[in-house]
Amino acid sequence: MKAAAPVVCLVASIWAAVACGGSDSTSFSPGGTDGGDASASGGTSTGGASSGGSSASGGSGGSGNTANTGGLAGGGTGGDAGPTGCQSSADCAGNPGGPICETATGNCVGCLGASDCPSGQWCNTATKQCGAGCDEATDCSGATPLCDSATNTCVGCLADTDCPSGQICSSKACATGCSVTQPCPNSGDTCCTASCHDLQADVNNCGACGTACAAYPNAATSCASGACSMGACAVGFADCNESPSDGCEWNLTISACACKPGSTQSCYTGPAGTSGVGACKAGQQTCDASGLLWGPCLGQIVPSSEVCANNVDEDCNGTADDVPDTDGDGWTKCNGDCCETPAECSKPNKVNPGAFEVVGNQVDDDCDPATSDTVATADCATTAKLTGVTAQDVARAIDLCQFTTANPPPAQKKWGVITYQHLLPNGTAPTATALSEMQNWQTAVLQNYGTGGIVPTKGPTMAGISSGRMRDQNDAGYVNPNSGATFSTTTTPPPAYLAAHGNALPASAGCSGTCPAGSGANDPVNVRLTIRVPTNALSFSYKFRFFSSEYWTYQCTVFNDFYLALLTTGAAGIPADKNISFDSLNNPVSVNNGFFDLCAPKGCNTCPFGMGELAGTGMQLSNTGGGTKWLTTTAPVVPGEVITIEFMVFDVSDHILDSLTILDNWQWSLDPSSVGTTG
């Protein structure tokens, strides 16, 4: 408790006055009548002093003297008495040294202890004076309620426990923090170096005090459940590879992330609508480590070329084993096509089993390695045949050596002769008698005709058809054509041919002028062949020679025997009457045709080839009979179509004076042509 102000001392008499002194004030001590001295230590004199003295511990009277620390001594006849120091605080009233008497020294001081100073001050024991500050808590208030005795200043705190929860004493002031004695107010926080932290979420103290999370490029740092992790990416960046090692590594201004690294998805690169059809199925692809693209599609099966006859739908169109005809030529790889694309050969749609082999072009045109590209097809008729000659024998003799059927399996759909028949000119079947006459007399396979050098132009044989007996003078059963060999058949010419000419045989315009035509078709022979055209053929040709014993007897009369070659095809440019063998004036081939120049001259007939080649034929007898040189007929066809060709000879208006035609050297051509006959 702080003391009240000191009491002022009053001097009763000059000899017994008590003075109040400061730290170096003068003390007074009264002298006795018996000469005894008084001092600050209460000393006495045993007799009067003849001479007074003063000392701090008292002196004996005599003549009294004063000193700074002495007292007044009197007695006898001694000197003046003086003050000896304060005895109580009352002695210090108004003393400049202070209101408190320090009895030990007799000095008046400002204070001797905390209680001597007023509230808000403290006692400096060194100077014994009060000063602003504190020496006990009652001197302090407000924000600094405690007294720091070491500095005698009011402070906010002296220890952590002086602060409220959540604060510690720092520099004598309460501040947010924690310590051993002042735990964190939030039970979930941990005290780390005087501050509270949530180790589950604090990026600077994640999981443990002082464990700071690393920074991530272009991304925030996060602490969750006591573990560091990468937080949200900065605007404009993404973590495509989902690896915190490089932060948000991808700049979205370039492109967006494609996928989550390691994630998988179904994939299929085949055409739409084919997955799940036939052998085709989806696969799976995995996102690569960068997150920027998907890896390859593994395990998928996309459409592929059909494998022949395995009952699997490899091209995934819903049908197994339907190998496509890429070049549109009617054949596929499964039925023998060795060329479907330009990469395989220069003309894919011209190379297949239906083509004919072109010798010397270095291409396997018919996709048959057994067919030579350097040697022509072997002859298919090598010996002469005079009886039992079928229409097939005729085909072989003229070098049509390949035969097929109307509807073979695709792999066997080659070009060739499909049917071969002996018919009447009007297309009807002959009687048994007529057929026998055709096969045993009117048709022949020849190695020569006569002895004048009429021989095949290709191979060892050629075919002959006649309205009489197809014989020369050296053959068994020969009958002179000039006398005629009468057979049993009387019929009509082809109806379509007649219709194209006003329902009559056409007249001829020869060197003798316009020659009339007769009627009927007597002693006829007709060889009809249906043929599948090679897929690479645009035309064909054949060679023939016409001979007639009507020269010159029936020239330019109604008795003019006809040779017709009627072609049925889809090609353009075929005459309406279908006849493709005629002379340069479009006359049918008869004794009146313009190519009749193997003969004995008569009238306008110059016969430039003479009669030499007629030797041995019987047509050189009596200078009657004549013929043509080898003529070549060409005609267009449609590749791969089925054509019909009819070779026929018949007597007109009578049964005598026979005519015949020799046929040979059928050839297919890659080149287009028009219809025509040339010598």
pLDDT, tens digit, 9 for 90 and up, residues 568-598? 999 999 999 999 999 988 899 999 988 889 9
Give the model confidence (pLDDT) of 222-263 as tens digits: 999 999 999 999 999 999 998 888 999 999 998 899 898 999
Asked which of 452-456, 471-475, 548-552 is least confident by mean pLDDT, the reply is 548-552
Spatial contact of 481 and 655, defined as CB atoms under 8 Å apart? no
Q: What is the pLDDT of residue 371?
A: 86
Give the model confidence (pLDDT) of 265-297 as tens digits: 999 999 999 999 999 999 999 999 999 999 999
**Torsions phi, psi of 478, nearest 5?**
-65, 135
Q: What is the pLDDT of residue 549?
A: 94
**pLDDT tops 60 at residue 62:** no
Residue 52: pLDDT band (50, 70, 90) is very low
Q: What is the pLDDT of residue 148?
A: 92
**pLDDT tops 60 at residue 373:** yes
Q: What is the pLDDT of residue 84?
A: 60
**pLDDT tops 60 at residue 512:** yes
Count the alpha carbons within 13 Å of 179 in the hemisphere toward its beta carbon.
15
Q: What is the pLDDT of residue 237?
A: 94
Please state, for a pLDDT cut of 70, what percent of the chain lies above it: 87
Q: What is the pLDDT of residue 362?
A: 87
Q: What is the pLDDT of residue 146?
A: 93
**Distance between CA atoms of 559 and 561, rounded to whole angstroms?**
6
Q: What is the pLDDT of residue 56?
A: 34
Please state, for a pLDDT cut of 90, what percent of the chain lies above it: 66
| Residue among 461, 563, 474, 561 at smallest CA distance from 519 | 561
Here the tokens at position 464 are: 């002959």
**pLDDT tops 70 at residue 384:** yes
**Distance between CA atoms of 147 and 160, rounded to whole angstroms?**
15
Asked which of 231-235, 293-297, 347-351, 538-542 is least confident by mean pLDDT, the reply is 347-351
Contacts of 273 by beta carbon, 8 Å cutoff, 6+ apart: none
**pLDDT tops 70 at residue 43:** no
Here the tokens at position 303 are: 């459409």
Asked which of 317-331, 378-392, 437-451 is least confident by mean pLDDT, the reply is 317-331
Q: What is the pLDDT of residue 36?
A: 34
Secondary-structure breakdown of the chain: helix, strand, coil percentages, each rounded to the nearest 5 = 10, 25, 65
Here the tokens at position 45 are: 């004199």
Q: What is the mean pLDDT of the chain?
A: 86
**pLDDT tops 80 at residue 167:** yes
**pLDDT tops 50 at residue 32:** no
Stronger pLDDT, 210 or 35, i.e. the higher one: 210
Give how far the C-alpha of residue 554 lies from the chain's centroid of Cα atoms, to the nearest Å. Answer: 84
Stronger pLDDT, 410 or 449, i.e. the higher one: 449
Contacts of 597 by beta carbon, 8 Å cutoff, 6+ apart: 605, 606, 607, 608, 609, 626, 628, 629
Q: What is the pLDDT of residue 228?
A: 93
Q: Is 21 helix (H, G, I), strand (E, B) or coil?
A: coil
Residue 208: pLDDT band (50, 70, 90) is very high
Q: What is the pLDDT of residue 2?
A: 53
Q: What is the pLDDT of residue 135?
A: 87
Asked which of 29-38, 240-249, 381-390, 621-630 is least confident by mean pLDDT, the reply is 29-38
Stronger pLDDT, 52 or 91, i.e. the higher one: 91
| Residue among 550, 587, 551 at smallest CA distance from 677 | 587
Q: Which of 9-18, 57-66, 419-428 has the highest mean pLDDT?
A: 419-428
Give the model confidence (pLDDT) of 594-618 as tens digits: 888 999 998 888 999 999 999 999 9
**Distance between CA atoms of 364 and 361, rounded to whole angstroms?**
8
Q: What is the pLDDT of residue 621?
A: 80
671 exposure class (CB count in 10 Å sphere: 0-12, 13-18, 19+):
exposed
Q: What is the pLDDT of residue 18?
A: 34
CA dihedral 184, 188, 192, 197 (to 10 degrees): -100
Q: Is 594 helix (H, G, I), strand (E, B) or coil?
A: coil
**pLDDT tops 90 at residue 478:** yes
Report yes or no on whether pTM surpasses 0.75: no
| Residue among 637, 643, 646, 647 at smallest CA distance from 672 | 637
